[in-house]
Structure 1
Amino acid sequence: MKKPIMFLALILLLASTSFAQLQMSMSTDKSEYSYGDTIHIACSIKNIGDTTISIISGSYQSCQAEFYFDEFYSGFQEQCLATTEKLLFDPGTEKTYYWTIEPQRYGLPNKDGDQRIIGTYFKGLKDTITIFAPKFYGGQLSVSFPDSLTSEVAQVKDSLNVEVLSSNSFNGSTSELWQITGYSIDSLMNIWNDSTNGQFNYAEFNRWTQYDSVKTHPSNDFAQFYPLHVGDKWFYEVKKFDTNTNPNISYLTQEITGDTVMPNGLKYYVFQNGNQTQYERFDSSKGEVKYYLSNCSSIDASIYSLAYREDSIKVWQSCDGFTYKIHYQPPATIDEDTTFIRLEGDGLVSVEIFFKKYVGMTKETDLEGGKVEYNLLGYKINGKQHGILTSVERDESFPQKFTLSQNYPNPFNPSTEISFQLSANSFVSLKIYDLLGKEVATLINQEKPAGNYEIKFNAKNPPAGRQALTSGVYFYRLSAKSKTTNFVQTKKMILLK
């Protein structure tokens, strides 16, 4: 005789809107099981936001599994995380928890397929009699029902030859403890399904279990480099170079003022760039930034792509008919939080654009038709401001002198930040040396405008051709040469592994 088949449906519960940036998903090793089969479940949680989430598991997230035994219904709720563990979810990371369900532990049928639980009887749409039963023939039942159903419950008790052990009434409802003997689920189905308004369900209690193992997956979510929230704002310094050495400097504010659903049925964010309005969205399935243009042959047109590696150059045509090649530079070639793309037209590099995780575009250099540079001075992402957002703030926060700050943290492992201030446009060199005076890394070697800077240094990611740094004492040296000043300062830092 063939074993009855058991189907498993998975439901995800996220009980707190405070952690809406956590996405949950579940999977099993099989889509259907025979009675008695061991079930392996994986529950994945991904942080899609730009801040770290810390929770005590069991308070907010849970995974619910519902088991269907032929025409019978069985439901129980499983907690996919430990109930007392503090969990950290860093931005963009995903953790998968694995655990095992042994059917007998949760009162599921044994390999013979015997079903021995009484469940829930529904009378109409609103009035409910809830019956929780032990997982064996006979025994005691916990029953609750509204007083308006007293006569219907009496019929059930008569049909089962019930002895009422205790009864309590409160606020129009009654709870009783019954003693029954010798009934299986099949016979109860026959009794209760005679009513046209009746429906029989198998009811299970909530169960909690510890996961067997956990695995953390680094994120390849390219949307991290292009955050989109209503209220986000970026403030850029714009340098336009002509035949003169000194550029013309102006400022540009870019802000997301709202979102809207366009006629193509897709949601776009409303970008205000000075006097221009643009509608943008991020296609996470393709890693592409898109914008809506009603006068374009492709209404949902690409602006740039962030999902293509150096060995996979993408060719696409913009709305103006110009064909570009997009070269994607992986984050590891710069640092762990920064990437850039090059737009190439007719074999010439026309635009280079740098992006930073959870910030967006930090720099753009347009080499076509005269050099133009956009440098990010400040931003506000998801309500948090960094740097300056207006030209007035820029003037007020303008550094009065050249300074080099102590790195933080110090000692460090493996990353630290080095801050410095420039009171004038300068050619800047920031290098790392070992105790013997040998240069081990160059962090900056280029022209920089006046302002405040924070540079991240990761000892695990050395420049090409060099080895990762070992524990010890190192020195970082800042050299900033402007028209009137030649500033040089050196400080000590300690790498402690």
Structure 2
Amino acid sequence: MKTPNSLFRIITIIILFYSTIFAQLDLSVYTDKETYEYGETIMLYAKVTNTADTTFEFFAPTYQTCQAEFSFNNFNSGEYAPCLATAELLTFKPHFSKIYSWRIEPQSLGLPNKNGTQTIIGKYYFDLTDTIYIQAPKFFGGEIELLYHVNNFDSVNAISRNLNADVVFGSDYGEVKHEVWQIEGFDIDSLVQIYSNDSIFVSFEKSIWIMYESIVDEYEFPIDYYPLEVGNRWYYEKIELENINDPIHNFIVTDTLYVEVLADTIMPNGKKYSILKNGLGTGEFVRSNFYGIYNYKDEDSSEVLVYNYFAKLDEYYPVDFFDISRVSLTEKQKEFIFGESINTLNYSADGLISFNITFAEGLGIIYSAYDGPLNYKIIGCKINGDVYSDTIVVGVKEEKLETIPAHFSLSQNYPNPFNPTTTIE
């Protein structure tokens, strides 16, 4: 018979064992922005990383649908997700990550459900949690699922009109009607409190169904598509179309452009920006982080997320910066650049000016094309002391870029920072 002390030691060993194993996992929760406008979609991410140098596996008790969860104020995703009770073997290689994402649509979920600071807590197995805070106004509205008897149709229809409800789903079950209403302009929780006790309805409750937007591995995810350390420099060919009627055979190199990170500075909004000379497609004051690439707006000391790494493919999002009104992430793929296969993101910008721009992970802008016969294509760069060109170069001493002219005279490009023109002296 085991003594209380021996049982205590066994329990302690078990706790230490699992604490050691799952100390390898780190949970990081983040959103695509820090501050949101009314009714704006919130993209939420939970990144689970194996921080150790050894691989480990474990069986998740649910199949994908409920592996990562979150709470948003008093809303718990696990209560509204289809949890499939099928175990899945999860393998985490050294420094490997799985990234779970959710698209939080206020019009469907009725979130945020309060004004100001929103508290989001990510949750994973073995009591892993991470808490973040964002700023957003309360959304008035959401979706309601209701059942009522057909003999109450007129009364229910009157309530629907008063709420200006949009019936997004409807079906009949004999004498009972089943509908889903989308409502805006009303506190959805208050409506549930009022009508859930009304005898007109069989049931009246929030209609919430949340699933992952995606589950991806770390290598599929953006890390740094615009390294902005001071001294980084990029060299481009300026390519023009000699005969616009023959776009295949008539490109000619007419000039060379270089972009350089001159310095960094703290702007009035309290954030640090890199100062670019010839900001090709990005402007003069730029910063980048895990979410994307931002431009500083001098007129109101705000900033704009111009190139959103987490944007949905082929869907325009609004961008108010200079002559750009909207941007779309059009392609995510691997390209061979300087002899290596590298992840790239291609964006299409639209407005008074239109252009396409491509970023390569770890390198920055590799290509931009504007309306008309004008393109810029990278021919070399110096990133964090390493030099890259048409042949693989890993050290500054082997710098091949010495053949590129060192002195440039730059024409003024204000107020359009996206299409600089240079002349080599």
TM-score, with normalisation over the residues of structure 2? 0.38
Max Rg structure: 1
Q: Which has the higher contact order (CA 8 A, sep 6+)?
A: 2
TM-score, with normalisation over the residues of structure 1? 0.33
Considering fraction of residues, name the structure with more helix. 2
Considering fraction of residues, name the structure with more strand. 1
